[in-house]
Structure 1
């Protein structure tokens, strides 16, 4: 792997992280109210994805400029879906539009439409029990056929 390949991978990773932030912002705003808990979760997710506060503000100001990217790899897809479900439920009030968006993202990530609702509910229940994404992914994979 040469230097150009490494730079391309970093750029792709940054694009995927920005796409993830855009998706989280869409979920957070779906109920018409970006609450304190949702903003904190956005900031935490940005930090975990090496997105600065200024970059987050820029993404929030104009989500349309950020291209949707399908996460690469099963673990990354699941981690992003886990974050989306967490955003949906962080304010303890699951709005139907937030749920619909989570379902759309899950399907776009390649999960089977037939199991998406059940999968999201299992993720939501595990988040309430403070069970992390790795353990939740293991439980989901064991209990249902998630990929097409």
Structure 2
């Protein structure tokens, strides 16, 4: 898949892909639309579809690597929320997973629920990632 000596960026990407996979499986099954979404995220970052599938099949082997800046943190939680919405059904466990991940990614516990819901509503309303990011900046600071 990737070489023995992986860069920090590759480690973060693999960690992010496995977080998406964990979210997809939280409701008990991995929907094809969810898998396609995860593959598209991987491909956007240069991964092959079979590498993404392999990663999802062996998620327990990937060490969690957290993002190091606010932009990366936002992008990861955004992808997780978009993933939650991918199958058209927002399971309460998926929402809880996103909120917990937002806290693990380093967002203040007091605002994680608001952040996840704000991203969710923005995606549903058809706003761009950048527009949602700018709107979120106001209450993240």
The TM-score, its normalising length taken from structure 1, stands at 0.87
The alignment status of 1:87 with 2:107, answered yes or no, reads no
Asked if 2 retains the 8 angstrom alpha-carbon contact of 1:16 and 1:69, the reply is: yes
Give structure 2 stretches of 5+ with no counterpart: none
The alignment status of 1:126 with 2:127, answered yes or no, reads no
Residue from 23, 43, 50 that aligns with 2:39: 43
What is the RMSD of the two structures over their aligned residues, measured on CA atoms?
Answer: 1.5
Residue deviations 1:73-102 (CA, integer Å, cap 9, x gap): 111110110000011111121111111111
How many Å separate the matches in 1 of 2:104 and 2:129? 19
More displaced stretch, 35-44 vs 15-24: 35-44
Greater Rg by CA: 1
Structure 2 counterpart of 1:53:
49
4+ aligned runs moved over 3 Å, structure 1:
none
Residue deviations 1:45-104 (CA, integer Å, cap 9, x gap): 111122222221221111010111111211111011000001111112111111111111
Structure 2 counterpart of 1:32:
28
Residue deviations 1:16-70 (CA, integer Å, cap 9, x gap): 0000000000111111121121111011111112222222122111101011111
Query: Larger helix proportion, structure 1 or 2?
Result: 1
